[in-house]
Amino acid sequence: MSLLLQHIRKAYRQPEGDLLPVLGIEHFELARGEQAVLLGSSGGGKTTLLNTISGILVPDSGRVIVDGRDIVSMPEVVRDRYRASRIGIVFQTFNLLPAFTALENVLLGMTFSGRAVDHDFAKELLQRVGLGHRLHHRPSRLSVGEQQRVAVARSLANRPVLLLADEPTANIDPANQDLILKLIRETCRDHKVSLLMVTHSMDAAQQFDRIERLHEFNQPELCQTGAVR
C-alpha cells in the first residue's frame, strides 16, 4: 500500500480566533500503482488534504502512512527527506524555480533526497515528457504547458511511490490538458507510481477508474471532538 490515512483531523485557526474544521477522514487508502482522481467543491479541503499527505501540513491528529511509515510522527527533518524520496508533487502553476534550466530543475528534485544525482535519468525523464530538446531552457523560455511537463518529469526524479497532483492542467489549453494528463498517467504507470490527482474537470476525471469525491469520505464535523493543534 502506498498511502493510508487514519483518523485525520485538521482545522485551521481563523484570524478571528475560532476554528475552521476542514478535514475529518477516518480511513483512506491508495494501493501501489493505483490511480485516483479527487473531486470536490472549491474550498472543500482538497489542497489541505494533499498538503497533509505530503507532510507540508501536519494534521491535528491521525496518521499519514506513506510507503509503510507514519510521516506525522517523524521529526521534521526526517519528514522533509522522506518527502523528497517518496513523494512527487505537481502544483497548478509556477512549479519551477526560475533560476534553473529545465534539466537543473529536475536535478534539483534529486538534490534533497540524499541519494546520488542521476543525470542520465533526469534527461531520460525530460525526453519522456517530450522536452529532450529543451533541456537547457529556463522556465521563462518555456510555454506554460512545457513548464508543466518539466514539473511532471521533476516529480518523478526520485522514483517516488506516490505522485500528488493539484489541478495540474487547470491553466493549460484543452488540447494540451489531455496530453499532459495522459503523460502523467502513463509515466506513473510505467514507473509503478500511485497517483492522487485533484481536478475540477469532469472530462479528466472520467478517464480514471477510481473517482473519489471528498465530501463523501470527509466529515469535517469530526474535528469538533478531536484535540486541535
Partner 1 sequence: MNLLLIAWKNLLQRRLASSLTALSIGLGVMLMVLVLVISGAVETAFTQRSIGYDLIVGPKGSDLQLVLSAVYRIQPPIENLPAMYLDELRNDRRVVTAVPLAFGDVTEDGSFPIVGTTDEYFQNEYLPGQKFSFQSGGQRMVKLFDAIIGADVARQNGWNTDDRFSILHGGAEGSKHDEKFTVVAVLAPTGTANDRTVFLNLDGFYAIDGHEKPVEEIEKRLRDFYAADADRLQQALTELDDYRQQLQVEEQTGTPAVAPRAMQEVTAVLVRTRPATPFDAISLSADLQKGFQAMAVNPIRPIQRLMTNVIGNVQKALMVMTGLIILVSGVSIFVSIYNSMSDRRREIAIMRALGAGRHHVFGIILAESALLCTGGAVLGWLTGHGLAVAAAPWLIRRTGLLISPWNISPWEFTLFPALAALGILVGFLPALTAYRTNVADALSQ
Which spans in the chain are helix H? 46-54, 76-86, 102-111, 119-128, 144-155, 174-190, 202-206, 214-217
- Taking CB under 8 A as the criterion, the residue among 23, 57, 179, 195 binding partner 1 is 57
63 CB burial (10 A radius; 0-12, 13-18, 19+): middle
CB neighbours of 144 closer than 8 A, spacing ≥ 6?
A: 93, 171, 172
Q: If binding is defined by CB under 6 A, does position 20 make contact with ligand ATP?
A: yes
Query: Restricting to residues 93-112, which ones interact with partner 1 according to CB under 8 A?
Result: 94-100, 104, 107-109, 111-112
Q: Binding ligand ATP by CB under 6 A: which of 19, 31, 43, 173? A: 43
Asked if residue 19 binds partner 1 (CB under 8 A), the reply is no
Is 51 an interacting residue with respect to partner 1 (CB under 8 A)?
yes
Q: What is the DSSP letter of 224?
A: G
C-alpha cell at 179: 496530453
Instruction: State the DSSP H helix or E strand holding residue 212, giving kind and residue range, or none if neither.
Output: strand 210-213
Q: Is residue 199 involved in binding partner 1 (CB under 8 A)?
A: no
Q: With CB under 6 A, what is the number of residues at the site for ligand ATP?
A: 12
Name the residue among 191, 50, 175 with its Cα closest to residue 125.
Answer: 191
Residue 187 interacting entry, from Mg ion, partner 1, ligand ATP, none, C-beta within 5 to 8 Å by type: none
Q: Which of 9, 35, 38, 45 binds ligand ATP (CB under 6 A)?
A: 45
Residues in contact with partner 1 by the rule CB under 8 A: 47, 51, 54, 56-57, 76-77, 80-85, 89, 91, 94-100, 104, 107-109, 111-113, 117, 154, 158
Residues in contact with Mg ion by the rule CB under 5 A: 47
